[in-house]
Structures are given as C-alpha cells and as structure tokens.
Structure 1
Amino acid sequence: MSQKISRLCVFCGSSEGNDPKIVEEAKHLGEVFAARNIALVYGGSQLGIMGAVAKSCLEAGGKAIGIIPEFLKTKEIVHTGLDELMTTETMHERKLKMQEVSDGFITLPGGFGTFEELFEIITWSQLGLHHKPIGLLNTNGFYDALIEMLDEMVKRGFLKQDNRDLLLVDTDINRLLDAMEHFEPNLKSKFLKPENI
C-alpha cells in the first residue's frame, strides 16, 4: 500500500562539512524533490547542507518551505528566496511545526542538531505520536557507525527490532523515497492513544 507524499522535512547540517560527495548528494536530493513534485520542508537556512538542498530544489522548479526560530532569523542565516518562511519562538516549536506540516522526514549528514532532530522524531513515532515514514540517506558511508550502533542496541536489548525498523535506510535517494511511500506504520504500539493520531 503506497501513500502520497507531497511534503518531506529534511534534517541536515548548517555547515557543508569537508566531503564534496555529501554536498553533491544534497543538491541531487533537491533536484529529485522537484522532479517528484515533493515540497521541501526544512530549517530555513541558506547555509551549509541546508542551503544546498533548498537552492537546488528551487532552481529545479520545486517548492521550498522554511521553518526557523526568531532568534536565528538574521540576514546571514535565513534563506530569503523561499516559497514560504514560517517563524517560531523556540527550537521545540520549530520541530512541532515541521512534524505538523510534513508527510515524512529524511535525514542527511549533520551534527548535534541533526541527530537531535532525527532521534526526537523517531522517538515520537515509537510512542505513537505520529505514523509518518522516517528515512536516513547514508551518503558515502556517513551513517555506517550509527547504523551499527542501532543494531548493537537491538542486540543488547535496549531497542526493539520493531522500533529499529521505523528508520528506513538507503544510499540511493529514489529507492529511499520509494520505501517511504510504501511504509506501513505499526499501529499496535502500546503507547498509542487515539487522541495523539
């Protein structure tokens, strides 16, 4: 059973890092979004990987929506050419808004902030607070160690396999998007409450 994905939130770094392949793949992601008519939802910055995804998406004729907290909204940081820019008071409100307006989530390489966004959104899924697909684009082996750590958590009894399987992982953008469109949530979560759906 496939689901229509019209808006995807991308979590990624506000710096470019030092691996050109990661920057190129971020640009490619923006182009693929435009080609597949998927609107980009992201943190609203013109910097780093964030800026690369947005710029390529817009240049390819796609739509980009930024969500940024007021304290980060400076000329040096905010992307001024987006189709829509939403402003929140706090970082937490930003994540709530991202979850609210998106049909799913993809994580690219990044730092602490990217990891924090990924793990909060997957924890919300584990708790039954949303049932949207979550993808990890493992560009050039960036997330190999993290994937190994997640499998170790399952092995040692700290993470259930069903919850580990909430994170869809691939090295290819189109394969990952196809998997996300065919994602079937586990609606039997013991934490699930109807009012949270």
Structure 2
Amino acid sequence: MNSIVVYCASSLGVNPIYNKVAVELGEKMAALNIRLIYGGGGFGLMGNVANAVLQNGGEVTGVIPNFLADLEVAHATLTELHFVETMHERKFKMVQLAKGVITLPGGYGTMDELFEILAWRQLKLYDGPIAIINTNGYYDLMLQQLDRMVDDGFLKTENRNLLLVAESVDEALKMISDFWENI
C-alpha cells in the first residue's frame, strides 16, 4: 500500500473537526510512507491533507486539469503535479496511480468522485478498496440512502458492500491495508 487517492472538499466547511481529520490523515500517511494522490488543489481540506503529508516528510502527487491550474488553484509545492485536460482524465489518472481510495467530507465534486469510483469498482474497471471516513456522522444519510437502494432492489448487497465505512483515520488506513493483505 504505497499510495492512496484522497477525495475531499476544496473548502474547510464550518466544523473544525473535518480539518482536524484531514490533517491527521495527511500526517499518518506520511508516517506510513504512503504517497498521497489527490486533485492538486491548494485550498480547503484538499490542500490541508497535502500540506500535512508534505510537512511530515511525505510525498504528494497532484492531478489537476489545466483550466483549474489556470485559475491559480493548483498547489505550488507538491512532489509531483500532473496536468490533464478534463475532469474525467483527472479521475482516471488519480486511480491509476493509487492502491486505494479514502473519501473525507466534501460537496458535489467529492460525491462525483466517490460515486464514479464505486461504479468503476462495480463494473470491474477498478479493483482497489474504497473507504469513507464518516467524521461526525457526515455520511450517515448517504449510507441510509444506499441501504434504501438495496431494499428497493436498485443496488445489489455485494455492490453496497464495496464501500468501506470507517469512523477514524486509523480504521480507514487499516481497512485499505487489510484489503490488500486478504487478496
């Protein structure tokens, strides 16, 4: 487990607990020599995960579309930064570089990334583990919706179970590690 994609917000949100967990994730990834693969931005939870990895001697690879880099939102001091043309290329490149995905709180972009990678996993286009860190119950309602989708016959139980749910950074990292050890 040498690299993990992290999906999360480009803003901080209103509850400081989300930033605390983002920084903790970055620190622990650096301590475990796990390279961060992420969207390349310098702001919000996204930027703070990257900063925590870098400040603790870890490596960070960003993947950013040119149009976002042109808006000056690209992080300036990453280990490596890839430029792509589209959001789809960004998401594809990120998961090509990683052995797992962890998702923190976020908005539309984060949800888009999470559900696209789950769909890819369901279709066997991606074979790695996918976890969320359910900080402060952030994903409780989404998890209820997924269960409703199973109950109403729109989502198979085995596909619902593709999403690993962690309550802490340590639990998420262990879930990703255990996934590879059990293959």
Same fold (TM > 0.5): yes
1:162 equivalenced with 2:175 (yes/no): no
1:137 equivalenced with 2:133 (yes/no): yes
1:148 equivalenced with 2:144 (yes/no): yes
Instruction: Tell me the matched-pair count.
Output: 181
Aligned ranges 1:45-124 → 2 under 5 Å: 45-74=41-70, 76-124=72-120
Counterpart for residue 40 of structure 2:
44
Q: Give the CA deviation at 1:160.
A: 0.6
For 1:159 and 1:81, how far apart are their aligned partners in 2?
Answer: 41
For 1:140 and 1:57, how far apart are their aligned partners in 2?
Answer: 23
**1:180 maps to which of 168, 176, 180:** 176
Moved over 2 A (4+): none
For 2:33 and 2:13, how far apart are their aligned partners in 1?
Answer: 28
**1:6 maps to which of 2, 8, 13:** 2
More helix by share: 2
TM-score by length of 1: 0.89
Unaligned runs of 5+ in 1: 188-197
SS of the residue corresponding to residue 70 of structure 2 reads coil
Q: Give the CA deviation at 1:76.
A: 3.4
For 1:153 and 1:63, how far apart are their aligned partners in 2?
Answer: 38
Unaligned runs of 5+ in 2: none
Counterpart for residue 19 of structure 2:
23
Counterpart for residue 171 of structure 1:
167
Identity of aligned residues (%): 48
**Deviations 1:60-99 (Å, cap 9, x if unpaired)?**
1111110000000037311110000000011111111011
Which has the higher mean CA deviation after the structures are superposed, 175-184 or 27-36? 175-184
Which has the higher mean CA deviation after the structures are superposed, 118-127 or 173-182? 173-182
TM-score by length of 2: 0.96
